[in-house]
Structure 1
Amino acid sequence: MSIVGKLLANRRAGDQGLAWHRPNLAGVDTFQMTSPDFDHESPLNTIHAGKRVGGQDRSPALTWSPPPAQTAQLLLVIEDPDAPTKAPFVHAVALLDPTVKGIPQDALAGVDPAPGVRVLRSGWGRGYLGPAPIKGHGPHRYVFQLFALAEPITAAGGKSVESAKPHAILEAGQSIARARIDAFYERR
């Protein structure tokens, strides 16, 4: 076990900081999200992990049932509430056209995202950052959250959506429905 992982074993950001629990994103309705790459509450394949830990930083494919008809935009957020930080670590933020019904593997690439996907800033850089938890810190949960927004986000925190930080994007949206699927990844 890594010494750093052992020292930080009990330090976790926690669920309360997830986008899922923000009052403006707690939509009344829910819809379903699934992935052909993992089952809910199962481990992610190494291909989806960060390059620095032997993965390929390829975002998993996701599909979802139709959101409410009045959806103006979809907001996809991937967070790690088990990171030893003050708030969950943001692995991806993207705005999607409401007609998109799913995304293929690697659709959240910072350079060449899938059609209908607008990749924004994440915790570090732009695009999907695969799991790379501290070795020996235990399993980390990766929460894939999709929010159906009543109005499109055009600016956040006084900046364009492209330059806004993730927390500003999360504050700017107003959800009418939401979907979620969780996965795990651990480095031993």
Structure 2
Amino acid sequence: MLEKLPGAIGHALHDVRAGLDAIVFNTLGLRQGMGSISVTSLAFADHAPLPPRYTADGEGLSPPVQWTGVPSNAASLVLVVEDADSPTPHPLVHAIAVDLPAGDGALAEAALASTDTPGTGVHTGRNSYLQAAWLPPDPPPGHGVHRYAFQLFALDAAPTFSQAPGRDEVFDALRAHALASGLLIGTCERPDGSIKIDEAAPVGPVIAG
């Protein structure tokens, strides 16, 4: 996929980014006084690199995500994952999960269907590639760090979503019913081939987006 793009293209598009202001969390116009949900992961810290196993450079599994602080009057939850730094007019949608049970909870690793994983039956919406699945992070080489926004929303109702709802359908439901929200950022970066790696340096996670 994008890993085959020349690094020169990534460098040329370095300043072309959708922007963090354009993700659902920041464009929804959340009402004043709306509650805050704590969203975390056992696999990565906030604003830290996603392990390769959750990206296109590894197994491409969806990462584990957990949350606390869901309001007691919530009826359902929605998760939206977007790439705030995609070189596109709008953030690239990597995953949508709807009809999640209300209350504190979690999605286990590989809970969302992906190319080689069936998932665990979560009601999944369409990503930007029109697939009802987890789209593994796959930033262009040389484009820099990409920020992946894991956005969780608590709703005061359980809307009837279509079989594989897209971003617009979910956004309309959130605008009408969102009670509380939470945000977790994971990063990913794919260096271009011109970067020399010090073979004596310790090997660690690659920053990605």
Does the alignment reach a TM-score above 0.5? yes
Structure 1 vs Structure 2: percent identity of aligned residues? 32
Which residue matches 1:3?
A: 8
Shift of 1:112: 3.2
CA distance in 2, matches of 1:106, 1:164: 20
2:36–2:69 contact (8 Å) kept in structure 1: no
Shift of 1:25: 5.0
Worse-superposed segment, 17-26 or 175-184 = 17-26
Q: Which runs of 5+ in 1 are unaligned?
A: none
Q: Give the TM-score, by structure 2 length.
A: 0.80
**2:83 counterpart of 1:86:** no
Q: Which runs of 5+ in 2 are unaligned?
A: 1-5, 192-209
Trace 1:1-188 onto structure 2 (pairs within 5 A): 2-23=7-28, 25=30, 28-50=34-56, 54-95=57-98, 96-99=100-103, 101-110=105-114, 112-114=118-120, 117-124=122-129, 125-155=131-161, 160=162, 162-173=163-174, 174-188=177-191
In terms of Rg, which structure is larger? Answer: 2
Secondary structure of the residue that 2:85 maps to in structure 1? coil
CA distance in 1, matches of 2:128, 2:169: 12
The residue identity in structure 2 corresponding to 1:143 is A
Residues 142 and 91 of structure 1, relative CA distance in 2, 3 Å threshold: same
Shift of 1:186: 0.3
2:71–2:103 contact (8 Å) kept in structure 1: no
Q: Give the TM-score, by structure 1 length.
A: 0.88
The residue identity in structure 2 corresponding to 1:114 is T
CA distance in 1, matches of 2:70, 2:165: 25
1:49–1:55 contact (8 Å) kept in structure 2: yes
Q: Pairwise CA RMSD of aligned residues?
A: 1.8
Equivalenced residue count is 179
